[in-house]
Amino acid sequence: MYAIVKTGGKQYQAAKDDVLIVEKLDGEPGAKIELSEVMMVSDGKTVKLGSPYVKGAKVTGEIVRQGHAKKIEAFNYKPKKNVRRRWGHRQPLTHLRITDIEAGK
């Protein structure tokens, strides 16, 4: 059984015991998280599609750890003007282990 869930503006395919790396969710490691924006649920034989979400469906998970992505570095300059700007960004991420998928109605 797997489901397509939406979190952080992105969609992820989740199956039981998968570890998803998603945009930062509030909570400490070990905390339970419930994702209710389930767009599709499939058990291998039947598929339930939502419009936009499947009613009553939810995916529960446990936060494994909080972390950051690799650093993205960028550089701007304007030739002949002595203008240079360098910056970086590390996106905060959450590692989420899927513990249960409920199909809903």
pLDDT at 44: 87
Of the chain, the end-to-end C-alpha distance in Å amounts to: 15
CA distance linking residue 10 with residue 13, whole number of Å: 10
Residue type, 24: K
Per-residue pLDDT of the chain (105 residues; tens, 9 = 90+): 999 999 999 999 999 999 999 999 999 999 999 999 999 999 989 999 999 999 999 999 999 999 999 999 999 999 999 999 999 999 999 999 999 999 876
Q: How many angstroms separate the Cα of 24 from the Cα of each of 2, 38, 42, 63, 70? A: 22, 18, 26, 10, 14
For residue 29, say if its preceding peptide bond is cis, omega within 30 degrees of 0: no
* Euclidean distance between CA atoms 58 and 71, whole angstroms: 33
Q: What is the distance, to the nearest Å, from the Cα of residue 73 to the centroid of all Cα atoms in its chain?
A: 23
